[in-house]
């Protein structure tokens, strides 16, 4: 279940209240069921996946991709798998743990594990949103945010792309006052 934490320490777990908090940033947050496919459940329970296993997961969830392709124009998708055994995990994560934006939207469907997206709200306060399996998030281009893993250090997420050119982090230099959960 998604939860949002404010700098004051207040936490909200109601999805509609979270959506209302993020609405000024035009962030979409939805719950997409993973279904009850036993092969999918078995694959998602594994710590790591081969390329063929990743493709099997993607194909089993492609009804969401088809929907995004038709309604939003997304053209590509992949599955990222991060865990403590991921080579150079800490180096990889340091690209995203500072406040940044992207030229394209950042769209994720969490299928295993959990992560934290931090956001700068219009009043310049900062919040962190913990997302878990079954949660879909669309962070529009130009939105100041950061991303870290939780203490579990494990996530599998389907990433959807309209293109790949604009997905490089552009650091804003803004001070991160709200310390991410995994730090």
Low-confidence ranges of the chain (pLDDT < 50): 182-183
pLDDT of residue 178: 72
CB neighbour burial string for 151-183, b if at least 16 within 10 angstroms, e if fewer: eebbbbbbbbbbeeeeeebeeeeeeeebebbbe
Supply the range of the domain harboring residue 127: 28-163
Element (DSSP H or E) covering residue 21 = helix 15-22
Whether residue 130 is contained in a domain is answered as yes
Inside any domain, residue 181: no
**Are 118 and 176 a contacting pair, CB within 8 Å?**
yes
Are the C-beta atoms of residues 154 and 86 closer than 8 Å to each other?
Answer: no
- 93 DSSP 8-state letter: H
- pLDDT at residue 65, rounded to an integer: 95
pTM for the full model? 0.93
Q: Give me the CATH number covering residue 115.
A: 2.60.120.10
* Domain membership flag for residue 174: no
Residue 168 lies inside a defined structural domain of this protein: no
pLDDT at 165: 66
């Amino acid at each position: 279940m998604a939860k949002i934490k404010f700098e004051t320490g207040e936490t909200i777990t109601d999805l509609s209240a979270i959506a209302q908090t993020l609405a000024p940033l035009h962030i979409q947050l939805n719950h997409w069921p993973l279904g009850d496919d036993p092969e999918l459940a078995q694959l998602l329970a594994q710590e790591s996946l081969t390329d063929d296993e990743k493709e099997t997961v993607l194909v089993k969830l492609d009804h969401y991709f088809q929907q995004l392709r038709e309604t939003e124009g997304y053209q590509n998708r992949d599955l990222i798998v991060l865990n403590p055994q991921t080579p150079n995990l800490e180096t990889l994560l340091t690209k995203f743990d500072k406040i940044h934006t992207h030229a394209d939207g950042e769209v994720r469907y969490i299928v295993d594990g959990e992560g934290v997206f931090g956001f700068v709200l219009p009043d310049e306060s900062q919040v962190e949103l913990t997302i878990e399996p079954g949660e879909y998030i669309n962070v529009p281009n130009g939105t100041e945010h950061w991303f870290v893993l939780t203490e579990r250090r494990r996530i599998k997420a389907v990433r959807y792309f309209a293109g790949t050119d604009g997905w490089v982090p552009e650091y804003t230099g803004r001070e991160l006052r709200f310390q991410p959960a995994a730090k």
